A = this chain, B = another copy of it.
Amino acid sequence: MTDNKFKPAPEPTVRRLSRYYHLLTSLKEEGINDISSTTIANEIGVDPTLVRKDIEYMKVGGKPKTGFNVNLLLDSIRSYLNWVNPKDAFLVGCGSLGTAMLGYGRFKNYGMNFLAAFDVDDLKIGTTIHDTPVFELQKLTELAKRMEVQIGVITTPAHAAQSAADLFVEGGIKAIWNFAPIHLRLPENIILENAQLTQSLAVLTRNLIHQQLK
């Protein structure tokens, strides 16, 4: 096929697709089969045209007057974001956040599958956390290479994050999902996604101030 299925959607679109997904899931549970772009737009708080543009990336068609089929949209989003083919992942740092991540258990439905976790704490090494085995940090590089792991998740304290990232890079990882509140230095070809809570919190606190100044 020359017309690639995964025509690149801009990042804002990808973020919204994930929001549509959660909304559509609720609608499905409510027994709704079809929905218009206007309704989606009102719920999410964006322009209806934008919703249609976003949906266009997935090559899903709607019907004039009735709108889009909820099930079809859900499946298309899942497949467009490649959530149907989970990628293997390692996690470093089995503190409370790391444990919470391993315990979430539903990342499999969102494109990621934890194979193993790593820590420096002897008490944790050799145990399993929510069914994921914990190994000593030294084994990370070799295991990552051997198992061709693609995603590295960092939930260590800030001071340990850079060396964890270095181990991942050495192990041939392709993308890093970083939760440590620190700036990581990485080779250019490594995909970095910062899931820093402080960033999200900064947006929230800023909006709080703005509202008060009005």
For A161-205 the 0/1 string (1 means CB < 8 A from B) is 000000000000011010001110100000101111111111111
CB distance from A206 to the nearest CB of B (A): 5
Q: How far is the CA of A202 from the CA of B83 in the complex (A)?
A: 8
A9-29 contacts to B, CB under 8 A, are 9, 11, 14-15, 17-19, 22-23, 25-26
Residues of B within 8 A of A185 (CB): 43
Nearest CB in chain B to that of A195: its residue: B200
- Interface window among A64-72, A98-106, A114-122: A98-106
- A87 and B175: CB pair below 8 A? no
- A203 and B11: CB pair below 8 A? yes
Determine if A151 is an interface residue (Cβ-Cβ < 8 Å).
Answer: yes
Residues of B within 8 A of A18 (CB): 196, 198-199, 202
Partner of A206, one of B14, B19, B183, B195: B14
Partner of A210, one of B8, B107, B177, B183: B8
Determine if A138 is an interface residue (Cβ-Cβ < 8 Å).
Answer: no
Count of chain copies: 2
Determine if A211 is an interface residue (Cβ-Cβ < 8 Å).
Answer: yes
A43-B195 CB under 8 A given contacts A100-B99, A206-B81, A208-B175: no
Partner of A193, one of B103, B175, B207: B207
Residues of B within 8 A of A82 (CB): 205-206, 208-209
Residues of B within 8 A of A19 (CB): 183, 194, 199
Q: How far is the CA of A174 from the CA of B207 in the complex (A)?
A: 10
Q: How far is the CA of A191 from the CA of B205 in the complex (A)?
A: 10
Residues of B within 8 A of A199 (CB): 15, 18-19
Write 10 A-B pairs (CB below 8 A) sorted by A numbering.
A6-B209, A22-B198, A25-B182, A43-B183, A83-B205, A97-B97, A97-B100, A111-B205, A150-B208, A175-B208
